[in-house]
């Protein structure tokens, strides 16, 4: 534990990554990351969204070119330029969406491009025999002549793994392989993983199911904001420490001051939810959002934060409970309803769900306002210019050019333009999902300042963030989520990183059984 990135002495190192860096524009997606995988080791790669996990995998598998750093496989330096290069070198990846051909038979999928042939004719019988033998090793006894699509995702995953390993892979990267599997299928997959590890294959396991990480992995490497936080043997790492590694920020960096808190009751309730929820999406919750108050949503990836936000805005339809404004029940079935009540929502997936990349900053800003006014009352060009310029000045969007396509702006400025889009509609409630994700440090501070200012102006805010320090900085109250349920609400002085961590880590055992 003294040198967290050193491999355990017992295992010879197989994959050795040193100082790997990769930037997209001004954003450092990977910043000098080290990663060491031993032979026969199952190694979890953890981190919240945007931590750099997928960038790391994509660099290692040749999808992205690296900016700096070395990758060594069994002591030999490699620089794959394509997925095929990586496979040839011995690194195979199985993604959550299986990259095989659903219309071909299982046998063809296993042997495509290398089928046994005689005089140019594929020896179907021989191929099937080999395919059966191969899959038998993985505990599958299936009709390999049937199309792949007729089997469950678990079988498809194992087929993909079998193909990869049969192509002499030494490093196997499994990217969220269990996300769409049920408990039984997970067991099958795990037994396959253990068997492969015994044969000396190194496995990188990307997952956000901590229970599974503790069940199957030997070591864990945690990334945050593109930086290596540490690598540990899982046996020596209490769960709360792991969660702190994933969510916390080094104490030195926390120079936060808590927002002056007033008693909640003093503020006017903007909207309240009672028993609001949706089956299989997020458990029914009670939530009051008040004017001039920031409520933070904290929890791990997949704990139900975004789901809560979408229900609150009406982007997802609740099937239980009710929402009330001023004591009157309201209908909240679509984003249109939400916007109609003066709600605004900046989604997490800024690029796909937020901005319209090809439209200009001006067009993006006036979008929500125009939608509310309807087609028949178009904003005149003069009004549009005026609104766009006002918010560009107010939020300091750079460059201050309303006619620039928004896709060309940096992440932070895109986020500000999205904020402007909703502010232009003079909203009562703003829901911000990870507003600081993928934004460089300077803009980060500005967004946080903006959140506070908006709050002071009397807006109700519901903010999701994976950065607990950030949440603590601006939240008056924090709702902690776990396993798709609201489990705790922290107020006043209780809003601090350690208590949030404790709430997230507490009582994690049920999740295990619930998955079955």
Positions that interact with another protein (CB under 8 A): 83-84, 87, 96-97, 99-104, 108, 112-113, 115, 117, 120-122, 124, 146-147, 149-153, 163, 176, 179-180, 208-209, 279-281, 283, 302-304, 307, 482-485, 487, 510-511, 513-515
Gap between the Cα atoms of 171 and 185, Å rounded: 22
The residue among 160 and 397 lying less far from another protein, judged by its C-beta, is: 160
DSSP per residue, 495-516: -SHHHHHHHHHSS-HHHHHHT-
The residue among 79 and 514 lying less far from another protein, judged by its C-beta, is: 514
The residue among 280 and 442 lying less far from another protein, judged by its C-beta, is: 280
Residue 232's contacts (CB-CB under 8 Å, 6 or more residues apart) are 1, 4, 219, 220, 242
Spell out where 326-467 has E strands: 328-330, 343-346, 429-433, 460-464
* Cβ atoms of 408 and 355 closer than 8 Å: no
Give me the least distance between CB of 280 and another protein, in Å please: 5
Give me the least distance between CB of 200 and another protein, in Å please: 23
In which residue are the tokens 């959140």 written? 451
> In b/e form, how buried is each residue of 3-32, taking b as 16+ CB within 10 angstroms?
eeeebeeebebbbbbeebbbeeeebbbbbe
Question: What is the side-by-side strand order in the sheet with 13-24?
Answer: 27-38, 13-24, 68-73, 76-77
In which residue are the tokens 């001006």 written? 362
The residue among 88 and 241 lying less far from another protein, judged by its C-beta, is: 88
* Cβ atoms of 418 and 388 closer than 8 Å: no
The residue among 197 and 464 lying less far from another protein, judged by its C-beta, is: 464
The residue among 189 and 459 lying less far from another protein, judged by its C-beta, is: 189
Gap between the Cα atoms of 226 and 187, Å rounded: 31
DSSP per residue, 155-216: HHHHHHHHHHHHTT-SEEEEESTTTT--HHHHHHHHHHHHHHHHTT-EEEEE-S-HHHHHHH
Give me the least distance between CB of 452 and another protein, in Å please: 32
Give me the least distance between CB of 95 and another protein, in Å please: 9
Give me the least distance between CB of 419 and another protein, in Å please: 25
**Ramachandran angles phi, psi of 477, nearest 5°:** -135, 155
Give me the least distance between CB of 223 and another protein, in Å please: 19
The residue among 146 and 408 lying less far from another protein, judged by its C-beta, is: 146
- Residue 460 CB-half CA count within 13 A: 21
The residue among 99 and 191 lying less far from another protein, judged by its C-beta, is: 99
The residue among 58 and 444 lying less far from another protein, judged by its C-beta, is: 58
Give me the least distance between CB of 383 and another protein, in Å please: 38
3-state secondary structure of 68: strand
The residue among 143 and 396 lying less far from another protein, judged by its C-beta, is: 143
The residue among 89 and 406 lying less far from another protein, judged by its C-beta, is: 89
Element (H, E) at 373: helix 361-373
Strand partners, 431: 345, 462
* Cβ atoms of 238 and 502 closer than 8 Å: no
The residue among 176 and 401 lying less far from another protein, judged by its C-beta, is: 176
Give me the least distance between CB of 513 and another protein, in Å please: 8
Give me the least distance between CB of 442 and another protein, in Å please: 33
DSSP per residue, 25-38: TTEEEEEEEEEEEE
The residue among 127 and 242 lying less far from another protein, judged by its C-beta, is: 127
Give me the least distance between CB of 128 and another protein, in Å please: 13
Q: What's the sign of the alpha-carbon dihedral 310, 313, 314, 320?
A: positive
Give me the least distance between CB of 348 and another protein, in Å please: 12
* Cβ atoms of 346 and 432 closer than 8 Å: yes
Strand partners, 13: 38
Gap between the Cα atoms of 209 and 512, Å rounded: 9
Gap between the Cα atoms of 440 and 36, Å rounded: 28
Give me the least distance between CB of 485 and another protein, in Å please: 5
**Ramachandran angles phi, psi of 161, nearest 5°:** -65, -45
Give me the least distance between CB of 463 and another protein, in Å please: 21
């Amino acid at each position: 534990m003294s040198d967290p990135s050193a491999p355990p002495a017992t295992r010879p190192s197989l994959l050795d990554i040193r100082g790997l860096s990769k930037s997209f524009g001004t954003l450092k997606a990977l910043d000098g990351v080290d990663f060491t995988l031993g032979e026969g080791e199952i190694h979890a790669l953890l981190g919240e969204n945007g931590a750099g996990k997928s960038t790391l995998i994509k660099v290692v598998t040749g999808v992205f070119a690296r900016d700096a750093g070395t990758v060594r496989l069994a002591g030999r330096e490699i620089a794959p330029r394509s997925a095929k290069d990586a496979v040839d070198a011995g690194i195979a990846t199985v993604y959550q969406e299986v990259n095989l051909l659903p219309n071909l038979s299982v046998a063809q999928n296993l042997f495509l491009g290398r089928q046994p042939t005689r005089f140019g004719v594929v020896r179907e019988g021989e191929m099937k025999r080999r395919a059966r033998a191969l899959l038998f090793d993985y505990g599958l006894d299936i009709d390999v002549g049937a199309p792949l699509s007729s089997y469950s995702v678990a079988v498809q995953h194992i087929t993909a793994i079998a193909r990869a390993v049969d192509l002499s892979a030494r490093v196997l990267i499994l990217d969220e392989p269990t996300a769409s599997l049920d408990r039984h299928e997970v067991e099958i997959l795990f037994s396959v993983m253990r068997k492969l590890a015994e044969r000396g294959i190194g496995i990188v396991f990307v997952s956000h199911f901590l229970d599974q990480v503790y069940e199957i992995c030997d070591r864990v490497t945690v990334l945050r904001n593109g930086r290596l936080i540490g690598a540990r043997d899982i046996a020596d790492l209490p769960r709360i420490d792991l969660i702190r590694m994933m969510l916390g920020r080094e104490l030195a960096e926390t120079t936060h001051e808590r927002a002056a808190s007033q008693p909640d009751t003093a503020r006017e309730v903007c909207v309240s939810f009672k028993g609001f929820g949706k089956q299989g999406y997020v458990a029914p919750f009670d939530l009051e959002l008040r004017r001039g108050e920031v409520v933070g949503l904290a929890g791990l990836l997949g704990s139900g934060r975004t789901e809560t936000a979408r229900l609150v805005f009406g982007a997802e339809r609740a099937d239980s409970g009710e929402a009330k404004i001023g004591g009157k029940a309201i209908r909240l079935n679509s984003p249109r309803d939400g916007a109609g009540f003066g709600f605004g929502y900046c989604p997490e997936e800024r690029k796909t769900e937020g901005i319209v990349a090809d439209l200009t900053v001006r067009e993006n800003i006036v979008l929500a306002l125009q939608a509310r006014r309807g087609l028949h009352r178009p904003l005149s060009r003069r009004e549009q210019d005026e609104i766009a310029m006002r918010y560009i000045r107010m939020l300091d969007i750079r460059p201050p050019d309303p006619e620039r396509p928004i896709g060309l702006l940096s992440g932070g400025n895109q986020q500000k333009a999205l904020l402007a889009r909703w502010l232009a509609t003079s909203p009562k409630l703003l829901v911000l999902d990870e507003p600081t994700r993928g934004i460089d440090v300077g803009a980060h501070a500005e967004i946080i300042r903006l959140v506070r200012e908006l709050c002071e102006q009397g807006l109700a805010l519901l903010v999701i963030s994976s950065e607990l320090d950030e949440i603590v900085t601006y939240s008056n109250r924090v709702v902690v989520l776990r396993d798709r349920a609201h489990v705790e609400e922290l107020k006043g002085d209780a809003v601090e990183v350690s208590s949030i961590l404790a709430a997230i880590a507490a009582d994690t055992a049920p999740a295990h059984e619930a998955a079955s």
